[in-house]
Amino acid sequence: MKWESYSHPISDIRDWSKNKRLELQPDFQRKEVWSNAAQIMLIDTILKDIPIPKVYIKSYIKEGDTYRVVIDGQQRMTAILKFLHNEYELKSPYIDPQYDGKCFRDLETDLQNDILRYKIDINEIFNPSDEEVRNLYARVNKYTVQLNKQELRRADYPGEFINISEELSISDFFEDAKIFTAAQRRRMLDVEYISELLSVLLEGVQDKKDRLDEFCEKYANIKNKETLINRFMLILKNLSLIFDEEDFPISKTRFKQKSDFYSLFACIDEFHRRGLTLDVTKIEDIRKFLDTLNKNIDPHADEEDYREYAVRCLSDANSMSSRNWRLNYLKDYLDVAYK
């Protein structure tokens, strides 16, 4: 195989597509998966004249015309062509506010021309075999670390929701409670979990992580940021009083587990929403109840409630029904300490 490396302006790529001589999705490529925010951020990169990664293409001649097939770079090429076809609008905070709400056709002519002149680095090979193409695709992607959903959210949805989640994730409480492992922190899974807890404060108990992308976009700008942070920290303060580091450390109980902690967090938030506050004279009663749960919850426990609670933490633990069941179970016993 002999590869040739050169640059093509976006106008060339548009013309290839217009003349139906560009194939974006051969059978070995994955389907389009980029979010709207990711596409907008790519256009922002182009507007700022920042280079994007190389695109790999195979070419062949058919009836005297050159046809091209994208081996690697489908997402980028698709996002660019969709924008040129006015299929989505630019939107802050992913782009300069002056372009907010604009499609390609709404931009000034000089700016449109700047986009069309922007050059993309391309590695092209002429008429390779299918085996050679698949081998290249595997090699290009084999050693690429795939970003998890939270790492993608950080790239796709910059804004206050993500920033607040990151800020709260480094709270001393979570370090002492040993809620997160070092590996989870490295992959931003701690931030993802804090985002789930913030979602509780904003719109109540949620079903799994299905709406996290929506929350990141919807709350990219939060008017009462300090109020939200204070609500979150007040719940942690309550938990610090209940789970005293010396007498009853949460790190030594099942409540450091994310499913248990989520419902406990939501339970205390519900008390606060009702205007109730923790009665410190009743803390010992709460501890006794939580300690009993900690010792007895088991799928094979004699008492039905303990078995049910255990199952709700193991089977579909993050569904809304399981989360609400645990919340209501805890609420029935913890409300004695809230007045």
Spatial separation of the C-alpha atoms in residues 30 and 35, rounded to whole Å: 14
Alpha-carbon 287 to chain mean position: 35
Neighbours of 176 (CB within 10 A): 15
Q: Which pair of tokens denotes residue 308?
A: 């049910």
Backbone angles phi and psi of 65, in degrees to 5: -110, 145
Q: Which residues of 291-303 are buried (b: 16+ CB within 10 A; e: fewer)?
A: eebbeebeeeeee
Taking only the tens place, the pLDDT of each residue in 242-301 is: 998 888 999 999 999 999 999 999 999 999 999 999 999 999 999 999 999 999 999 999
Mean per-residue pLDDT for 4-23? 94
The pLDDT of residue 149 is 87
Spatial separation of the C-alpha atoms in residues 67 and 59, rounded to whole Å: 6
pLDDT at 27 over 60: no
Q: Which pair of tokens denotes residue 157?
A: 């949805």
Q: Which pair of tokens denotes residue 303?
A: 């008492």
Spatial separation of the C-alpha atoms in residues 61 and 42, rounded to whole Å: 31
Taking only the tens place, the pLDDT of each residue in 102-127 is: 999 999 999 999 999 999 999 998 98
Residue 22 forms beta bridges with which residues?
68
The pLDDT of residue 142 is 63
Q: Which pair of tokens denotes residue 54?
A: 């190389």
Backbone angles phi and psi of 166, in degrees to 5: -65, -40
Taking only the tens place, the pLDDT of each residue in 46-67 is: 999 999 999 999 999 999 999 9
Taking only the tens place, the pLDDT of each residue in 305-326 is: 999 999 999 888 999 999 999 9
The pLDDT of residue 1 is 58
Instruction: Assess contact for 189 and 252: CB atoms under 8 A.
Output: no
Average pLDDT over the chain, rounded to an integer: 91
Spatial separation of the C-alpha atoms in residues 84 and 9, rounded to whole Å: 13
Confidence of residue 71 (pLDDT cuts 50, 70, 90): confident
Q: The whole model's pTM is what?
A: 0.72
**DSSP code of residue 72:** E
Q: How many CA atoms lie within 13 A of 51 on its CB side?
A: 7
Spatial separation of the C-alpha atoms in residues 138 and 134, rounded to whole Å: 6
Spatial separation of the C-alpha atoms in residues 223 and 201, rounded to whole Å: 14
Q: Give CA torsion, residues 326, 331, 334, 339, to 10 deg.
A: 160
Spatial separation of the C-alpha atoms in residues 106 and 100, rounded to whole Å: 10
Instruction: Assess contact for 199 and 211: CB atoms under 8 A.
Output: yes
Residues above pLDDT 90, as percent of the chain: 73
**DSSP code of residue 87:** -
Helix ranges restricted to H, the chain: 10-18, 36-47, 74-84, 109-117, 130-142, 149-156, 160-169, 172-177, 182-186, 189-203, 212-218, 225-242, 258-273, 283-296, 304-314, 320-334
Pairing verdict, β 22-23 and 65-72 = parallel
